[in-house]
Amino acid sequence: MADAAANEVRLCAVADARERPFRVVAAGRALVVWMAADGGPRVFADRCPHREARLSAGYVADGRLVCPFHLWVFDESGRAVGPDGAARPTCAVRRFDAHVRDGAVWIDAARIE
């Protein structure tokens, strides 16, 4: 039986992701780690689907991640949200499952390849 923890990659300290969107490269993939309103981590590809800006250069407002360039907003699931608060069904950033252990954010390496 494989040890699931053996495949995990530590992305950053929870405190780092809480302070601001945190850029990390894992398994060759650029990721942004941030903490959602529910206190859980969110890990997205660090590339805005609009014009590929780094979302890690943005900020969190009202529990959503804001791209710094044209201020597109992404909810906790990675869906773009319009000014009216409605999710745009055809626009999203890729999201990866992650969890917290020992004060850090971890991800299964197999999920980011």
Joined tokens for residue 64: 């959503």
Joined tokens for residue 8: 């995990």
Print the binding letters for residues 34-63 with ligand FES: x by CB under 6 A, - otherwise. --------------x-xx-x----------
Sign of dihedral through CA atoms 84, 86, 88, 93? positive
| Residue 1 one-letter amino acid | M
**70 contacts ligand FES (rule: CB under 6 A):** yes
Instruction: Output the smallest distance, CB 104 to ligand FES, in A.
Output: 28
Query: In the complex, which residues of this chain contact ligand FES (CB under 6 A)?
Result: 48, 50-51, 53, 67, 69-70, 72
